[in-house]
Amino acid sequence: MQLFWIGRTWPAAAAATLLGLGLAAPGVAGAAAFRFDYTGFMGIDEALNKASAAPAPFTALTPFTIRAYFDTASPNLAPAFGGPFDGFRAYAPTSAVITIGGQSFRIESATANPLAGVTVAIFDNASFTPGRYGIGMIADVANDGAGFVGDFGGAAPGYTAGALRSTVLTDFFGVGHGSGVCLSGSPPACPHAVTPWVLRDATNAAWNLTFGNYTRDAPPVEAASLTAVPEPASAALLGLGLLGLAGMRRRR
């Protein structure tokens, strides 16, 4: 995918080096769990259909919402080459759900499906486009695969990729969608692979969500936020503490 606000895909040589050397090490210092929420739109050159059926394009601009959970203690799957890449992180979600067309689906994670599974992709305002934040979901992130990235002029409060915090992205500029990796040449004119996201409905049946290749300015406005959530162990300890307080009150 050609990221709208970056204006180019990762250099091919850098992606090859990444695959040869392995992914960046987990960032365990200050690790935290987060919920990612995004509200956006799919266009008429994109499609949602059962994996066994032909692509069924959307007939109008169609809203979607995504809620995903990830932990910064997990490996950072973004290319680690210094410079602007220092402001970029990508984490495989532990769970991700998209609601579109009145139906909800689980999205396969990069953990389960390295090529078609998604990551939560986060850019701070000191990465590829200084002063602008980016956030979205990308598959095959080492090669800039299928997905989307929203382009935002602000975040309240601001954050850095290496020290995420609860924040609301503000001042939406636009969004870039991509169907898959660049097959040859250089963006934006390069031919792209078409690699749909793999979705699962309530019966676990497989669906394909196929992205187009385009950029769109606002309006309509899209929205994104990150929310810190308790780690499971912390939540359990909190629960035990509350039970203890309740027991003390009863004994009084």
Q: Which SS3 state, helix, strand or coil, does residue 103 take?
A: strand
Predicted local distance difference test score (pLDDT) of residue 188: 66
Q: Count of CB atoms within 10 A of residue 157's CB?
A: 9
Residue 165, token pair as written in the block: 């915090």
In angstroms and rounded to an integer, the radius of gyration of the C-alpha atoms of the chain is: 19
Q: Which of 65, 45, 74, 29 is nearest to 137 (CA)?
A: 65
List the pLDDT tens digit at each of the 252 positions of the chain.
Answer: 444 434 444 544 344 333 333 333 333 345 799 999 999 999 999 999 999 999 999 999 999 999 999 999 999 999 988 899 999 999 999 999 999 989 999 999 999 999 899 999 999 999 988 999 999 999 999 999 999 999 999 999 999 999 999 999 999 999 999 999 999 877 667 899 999 999 999 999 999 999 999 999 989 999 999 999 986 544 454 454 444 544 544 444
Residues 128-143: tens digit of each pLDDT: 889 999 999 999 999 9
Residue 33, token pair as written in the block: 């769990």
The structural domains of the chain, with segments of one domain joined by +, span: 12-251
Predicted local distance difference test score (pLDDT) of residue 244: 52
Cα torsion for 218, 120, 101, 174, to the nearest 10°? 10
Q: Which of 102, 144, 180, 109 is nearest to 15 (CA)?
A: 144
20 Cβ contact partners less than 8 Å away, ≥ 6 residues apart: none
